[in-house]
Structure formats: structure tokens, C-alpha cells
């Protein structure tokens, strides 16, 4: 019985530890490029396309805020179930981003707009009450310094 109580005390705080939607973390160095990431809508609305099919349209805006041109070299999206359990992850390097028709270079104080519309089969719609994710953009500025920005998103059924 003590073992079960210990596990319950450990699991409950973890299950409640989902990050707040729209939370953004950026890693920058003064005097170098910096990026700011925005995802809309917030929360992302899952549209049923028939049966168990859903699409998740979202727009990502990446702004350079440090005054130096940057080149995006990776975009990563992670999906977590309640409590932070990873359920899916996708990552795109610069050549893959370019092959999809998206630019990877941002001029100083400029911005890029990306539109994504991923489609997934969801058989258990109860996941919409506990799923969340994050989008991370990594880049290199004209001085060779690495910069990144991550924002947390939630998903709701439309």
C-alpha cells in the first residue's frame, strides 16, 4: 500500500505539469541574431475531415529581432500527452524545409510566415483534452551564433 501511495504522489504532480499554451522560450546572445516564434491559432483547432481523420491547420511566424540575418536550419514539432509523455515528433532540416517550398533565410528585423496543415488519424478523441505540443525553430546568424525559439501550443477539437 505504501508503494502505491508513493507512486500516486510522484505521478500526480507530473500529470499536472503541462506547460501553458503560448509560452515562448528563446535562446539568444546580445549583439547577435535573435528569433521570436508565434503560432496561431492558439489553441490549434483540429478539424474533422471524416471518420477518424483530422487536420490541424496552423501558421508559424518567425521574426528576427536581434538585428542580424539568420538562416533556419531546423524546425521540430513535438506532441505530448498529459503529464509530458512524448507521443509524436517531427523534425525538418533546412533542405527539407526548402523542398517543401519554404524559405529559410530571414533578413535582419525581417520575418517568415509558414502555413502547415498536418493530417492525422485520431481514434480516441479524448486525447484532445490532454494533448499539447511545442514547436522549436533553430537558426544560425551571420556571425555563426546559434539561436533558437520554442513555443508551447495546445490542440482543441473544433
Measured between alpha carbons, how far is 14 from 85 in angstroms, rounded to an integer?
10
Q: In which domain, by residue range, is 93 found?
A: 2-157
Helix %, strand %, coil % of the chain (to 5): 15, 50, 35
The number of domains in the chain is 1
Which grid cell is 4? 502505491
Per the DSSP assignment, residues forming a β-bridge with 60 are: 39, 114
Nearest to 133 by CA among 79, 86, 59: 79
How much is the pLDDT for 72?
96
56-79 pLDDT tens trace:
898 989 999 999 999 999 999 898
Rounded Cα gap, residues 18 and 20, in angstroms: 7
Mean pLDDT of 141-153: 94
Q: What are phi and psi of 84, to 5 degrees?
A: 85, 20
Cα–Cα distance for residue pair 156/130, rounded to 1 Å = 9
Answer yes or no: are the C-beta atoms of 137 and 148 closer than 8 Å: yes
Res 155: pLDDT = 86
pLDDT of residue 93: 95
- What is the model's pLDDT at position 26? 52
14-69 residue pLDDT tens: 333 344 444 555 555 566 899 999 999 989 899 999 999 999 898 989 999 999 99
Residue range 114-130, pLDDT digits in tens: 888 888 898 888 888 88
d(Cα 70, Cα 144) in Å, to the nearest integer?
9
User: How many of the other CB atoms lie within 10 Å of CB of 10?
Assistant: 10
The CA distance from 98 to 113, in Å, is 13
> What are the φ and ψ backbone dihedral angles of 12, each rounded to 5 degrees?
-60, -50
CATH number of the domain at 125, please. 2.60.40.1470
Amino acid at each position: 500500500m505504501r508503494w502505491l501511495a508513493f507512486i500516486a504522489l510522484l505521478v500526480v504532480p507530473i500529470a499536472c505539469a503541462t506547460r501553458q499554451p503560448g509560452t515562448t522560450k528563446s535562446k539568444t546572445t546580445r549583439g547577435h541574431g535573435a528569433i521570436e516564434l508565434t503560432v496561431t491559432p492558439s489553441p490549434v483547432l483540429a478539424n474533422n475531415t471524416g471518420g477518424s481523420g483530422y487536420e490541424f491547420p496552423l501558421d508559424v511566424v518567425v521574426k528576427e529581432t536581434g538585428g542580424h540575418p539568420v538562416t533556419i536550419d531546423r524546425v521540430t514539432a513535438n506532441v505530448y500527452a498529459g503529464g509530458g509523455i512524448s507521443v509524436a515528433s517531427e523534425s525538418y532540416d533546412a533542405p527539407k524545409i526548402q523542398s517543401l517550398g519554404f524559405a529559410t533565410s530571414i533578413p535582419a528585423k525581417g520575418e517568415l510566415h509558414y502555413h502547415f496543415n498536418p493530417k492525422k488519424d485520431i481514434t480516441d478523441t479524448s486525447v484532445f483534452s490532454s494533448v499539447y505540443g511545442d514547436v522549436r525553430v533553430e537558426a544560425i546568424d551571420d556571425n555563426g551564433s546559434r539561436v533558437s525559439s520554442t513555443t508551447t501550443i495546445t490542440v482543441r477539437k473544433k
